[in-house]
Structure formats: C-alpha cells, structure tokens
Structure 1
Amino acid sequence: MSQLPPLLWLQAFESAARTLSFTAAGNELGVTQAAISQRVRLLEDRVGQKLFVRHARSLTLTPAGQAWLPSIHDAFARISEGTLEVFGSTSEQPVTLRATPVIQQTWLAPRLIAFHRAHPQVAIRVVSAIWPDDFGPEGADIEIRYGKGEWTGVEMQPLGEEQLLPVCSQAVAETLTAPSDLAGHTLLHAVGFGVGWPGWLQEAGVAHLEAQCWSLTCDNQVMTLALASQSGGVALTHRRLMEQRNDLVAPFELSVLSDERFWLVRPSRRHVSEDAALVWSWLHNSMG
C-alpha cells in the first residue's frame, strides 16, 4: 500500500485523461492548469512511464496511460460506492467548510459560534488550507478563498473590500510615530499576497525604507501575526482580520487597497444540502 501514488495525483490523471486537457482538468478540480501538470509529472515519475503525449495544443494518452485508465476509473467508482454503502448519502454528513487558518481564527470563529448557538443541530467540519492549490472541490461544501475571484465552476460572493495595514505589539508601537520610524525594525512578510510591504511603503512615501529594515518571511499570516504580537517585528495584515485581536495594535492609520479579497465560494454544479445552504446563507448575511 505504501507504493500507491497520492490520491491527488491520481485524480489529476483521471480528470486529464477523461478530458484530454490539463486546463479542463484544473477547472474541474478547482486548481490551476500548472498544478494538474505538476501532479501528472510527479505521477509519471512515480510509475516510471509517460502517461500523456503532450502536443502544442492538445493531449493524447500513451499506451501505458490507456491501459491504466480503466483501473483508475474502477478504483474511484469502488471508493464512491463503498463510501455511500458505509456512510450513507452526503446529505447526512457534516457541512465541510474550508478556509485558511488566519480567517478561521478571526473572521470565521465568531460567526460560527453565533451560527452554532442558533442552529446546534447542524454539524460542521472545518478544514484548513494555506496555499491556493489546497482549495478545490475535494470534500468541501463551502470555502473562503483569497484572490481576485478568477475561478471557474463555482458560485462566489466577495466578503468586501480589502485594506492592508501594519500591526505590531503595543511595545513596538510605542517606538513608531511615523512610517520613517520603521527603519531598523523587522518587517514580517507573508508570501502569496498581491500587495505586500513594498506596496504599503510606497503608499506611505518611504519606498526606499525597505533596504533599511530587517526581513522575516513566513508562508502564512498566522505566524506573522504571532511574531508581531510577541514584539518580533511589524506585520502587514488585512484590516478585517483585526476584528477579534486584542494583542495587536495599528501604529499608523494609513492602509493600502488590494485588488485581491476574501470570497465565499461553493461549487456551482454540486447538489447543495439544506444544512450547507443554511450555513452559506448565514455567512453571506454576516459578511460585514
């Protein structure tokens, strides 16, 4: 069993083989064409053979890919049948909600508490995602994604305009009266955002200042905000994520607009259970 490739690689192969398109497979699975291509290449490396012939504008299966595809189809069908037999229909399952850890801790947590108090009979399962490729249709009824909203096959509602501003501990804030005071401080960077410290510093008129600051980079905002709260530097975060924080302060009023934002997302072609529809409606009505 340890020799079996990861399920995500097999899903990518099955979808691409059925559609003969990495782009179509990406749209179907809610990831990018590049992510499908990478998963297929990893799968090919694992099995030691090419599964597709890549043409300029199309794909065809190799003989090995054609021979393997029926087994993959059968395996997914057996998994689906076994799941239905053991666990019943999906309408009896908890509503699965996927979001990044930082949006869970801040925006989502108080809203889920209020929802649970009003509808304690609805079971909810919250799962985490950090990178864009962590999102997709695998098992999630509702997602909170971050980006420009350029996804296909989904229904989505923006959570509102996003503004980013610096935050830090009270002790660090006491040393900052103007943006120029950031010189010599550590700027905490969270990767994956279209607007970061360079954008804010430029808006503040001190674009040159980045060269005079130390830098520490994390792959998520949970860590940058944790470091900032412990006087480890100054983080850049979304104004909405400060709603439930009492361990951070904003030393400056200046914020910078982002063309990226948080979105409430759900698959557009999937059957929506009554419980999932209720959760969606609750979150949609509490977007402010």
Structure 2
Amino acid sequence: MRRRRLPPLAALRAFEAAARHLSFRRAAAELGVTPTAISHQIRLLEASLGLALFVREVRRVALTAAGQRLYPALRDGFDAFERGLADVSRQTGRKAVTLTATTLFTARRLLPALGAFRAQHPSFDLRLHASDDLVDLAAGLADIAVRYGSGPFAGLVTEPLLSERFGVLCNPSLGLSAHEDLKRVPLLHVEWKRPDMAPDWRRWARLAGLTALAVDAGPRLTDDGYALQAAVAGHGVVVASLVLAKPELEAGLLVHPFGPEIAGEAYHVVATPENMAGADVIAVRDWLRAVVRGA
C-alpha cells in the first residue's frame, strides 16, 4: 500500500481552526493551546508546503490563494473524522463527557477524585481538559466546564460551586507569626492572565494596612502551581488560594500564619441548556458537587 505523505496532524488542525476563525487567538482557545503555538504549527505547515497560507496583518489574518484551496479539503476531512468517531462511539454504547477547567483546579480538585467518578459511573468516559483559556461550550469543544468568575455566564446554565479565598501561605520552617516577619522573607508573585482579578501582595497589604511593605519585590512566577511548590520548598511566602492549597495545609507542608484573607470570585459549573439536560452531564455535575463539598 502507498504510504501517505502528510504533514503532522497538529499542524493541519492548527491551520483548519485558524482558517475557520480567521484568528490565531480564537483557534488557540478552541484547541487549548497558546496563539504562539498555533503560529508555530502553521509556519511548520507552510515550510513543508513551500507556500504561504496566511497574510498576516497587524490585527487580523487572511487566507492566501493557497490557503483558500487547502481549507475546504481539511474542513471536510475533519468533519468526516468527527462523524466516523461519533458512529464508533454510538456502536460501543459508551458515553464520553469532556469537562474543562483551569489547570490548577483540575490538578488539585479533579484529578484526585477521578477514581470515584469511574467507580460510580463505569459506563461513562470522563475526559478532563485542563486549560486556563476559555473554551467555547456552544461550539461543542467541551460538554461541561468549571469557570472562575462573577457569573452568571451568558447563554449557559450556571451553578455556583464554591467561593474562593486567598491568603498568606508559607512553609512552617520560616517561622512567620506576625506581619513584621514578612520583611525578612522573599515575597513570591504570580503573574495572572487577568491582573484585575489577581490576589496580589498589593491588594493584601492594602487590606492589612501595611503601607511600608515592599509589595513589588521578590521572585515572579508565571504559574500559581509553581508558586505553591516554591512556597512548600521554603523559597518564600505567597498569597495564594486557600481552597486549592488545602492538601498542603492539611499535610502541614504549608501554614496560613495570619490574615487578612482576600475574598475571591466563585467557581461555577456551567453547560449549555441542551447539555445540562443530559444524564451524562448531570452525572458530572453531581460529581463536581461532591468534589467541592466540605472545601
């Protein structure tokens, strides 16, 4: 049989999504990657073909003539893949539900409880999609989601799960017991994608009435999970989620030596009205309720 000579599937998926949206950013959100990753995959595809597929402008992209010829073939091909996979899924009699949530929430709350879901619902396959990018539920990219924010979310059935709280966390070996102790330890910072929602040292110091605290000094990390790991290792003190750091607090790896606490937004379980009426999605919703119970 003749061997197919095809570019990597990741590059083809990136091109098809970007061509459909005419946006690298929206394609990245759909596929759960960064816009830079989409751009990289498309450049790989262009290099393998020896052709430019997009005209890149300051705030938009457009398909070249070659891109316009390629897009319908890939679109129809991926549509055929989807239909074939759906047919196979129906024949096996198993249902697959995709749940999307932020990376840290997935790691801290969902993965540890996954075994319980499988035990309770052996006929369902639960797929966890961990991403800090917003996934379009209306487009069918996931069946149900846990979203962080004020809610409700337009066009979606929205149910609050639990409220977030942030506070000072550190390794007990640092011996922090009073606000004055913060002057002798590094302050760890997390670079949130939404600075307006960030529970940072500046907000905490304002609540604590500490005008002299050097709130901008200290190491900066791009991920709140890494910041928690750094705090566990004793590299400094961080303002982080008291809800998602619960395992470390219960194990004594971290302590919350003093207040105040910063009130965060809420985590919500959301789905389209059609999906929320399905027995499989209802099962996932009920499992999420159990996951956060007692948090």
TM-score by length of 2: 0.71
Matched, 1:197 2:201: yes
Q: Deviations over 1:152-198 (max 9, x none)?
A: 554333333322101111112x2x22223211312222222522222
- 1:27-66 to 2 correspondences below 5 Å: 39=38, 43=42, 47=46, 48-49=51-52, 51=54, 63-66=65-68
Paired letter, 2:267: F
Q: Sort the Cα spacing of 1:9 and 1:209 in 2 relative to 1 into closer, same or farther, 3 A.
A: farther
Q: 1: distance between equivalents of 2:145 and 2:230?
A: 27
Aligned partner of 1:283: which letter?
A: L
> What letter matches 2:203 in structure 1?
G
Q: Cα deviation per residue 1:86-120 (whole Å; 9 max; x = unaligned)? A: 44469724333333343234333565455445445
Unaligned 5+ segments in structure 2 are: 1-5
Determine the structure 2 residue equivalent to 1:228.
Answer: 231
Give 3-state SS (helix, strand or coil) of 1:244's partner.
helix
From 208, 213, 227, the equivalent of 1:209 is 213
Corresponding residue of 2:183 = 183
- Counterparts of 1:134-283 in structure 2 under 5 Å? 135-137=135-137, 140-149=142-151, 154-172=156-174, 174=175, 176-192=176-192, 194-195=197-198, 196-210=200-214, 213=217, 215-245=218-248, 246=250, 247-258=253-264, 260-268=265-273, 273-283=278-288
CA distance in 2, matches of 1:63, 1:112: 47
2 CA distance for matches of 1:242 and 1:115? Answer: 22
Q: Secondary structure at the match of 2:239?
A: strand
Deviations 1:207-226 (A, max 9, x none): 4423584x222232222112
For residue 209 of structure 1, give the secondary structure of its aligned residue in structure 2: coil
Aligned residues: 273
Percent identity over the alignment? 24
CA distance in 2, matches of 1:41, 1:13: 15
Query: 78-87 or 106-115, which moves further after superposition?
Result: 106-115
Task: Single out whichever of 117-126 and 72-81 deviates more from structure 2.
Answer: 117-126
SS of residue paired to 1:280: helix
Q: Does 1:71 align with 2:88?
A: no
Per-residue deviation, 1:145: 3.0
RMSD: 4.1
Q: Note the alpha carbon deviations across 1:50-79, whole angstroms, 9 max, x for none.
A: 6479899x9986544443332132122221
Distance 2:227 2:281 in 1: 32
Aligned to 1:19: none
Q: Which amino acid aligns with 2:238?
A: A
Are the equivalent residues in 1 in contact too, given 2:201–2:215 (CA < 8 A)?
no
Q: Aligned partners of 1:148, 1:30: CA distance in 2, in Å?
A: 23
Query: TM-score normalised to the size of structure 1?
Result: 0.72
Task: Give 1:13 shift.
Answer: 1.6
Contact kept? 1:10, 1:43, Cα under 8 Å: no
Unaligned runs of 5+ in 1: 17-21
Q: 1:8 to 1:271 in 2, by over 3 A?
A: farther
1:14 aligns with 2:15: no
Structure 2 distance, partners of 1:107, 1:43, is 35
Confirm whether residue 132 of structure 1 aligns to residue 136 of structure 2.
Answer: no
Query: d(CA) in 1 for partners of 2:92 and 2:150?
Result: 30
Contact 1:52 1:61 in 2 (8 A): yes
Q: Distance in 1 between matches of 2:38 and 2:238?
A: 33
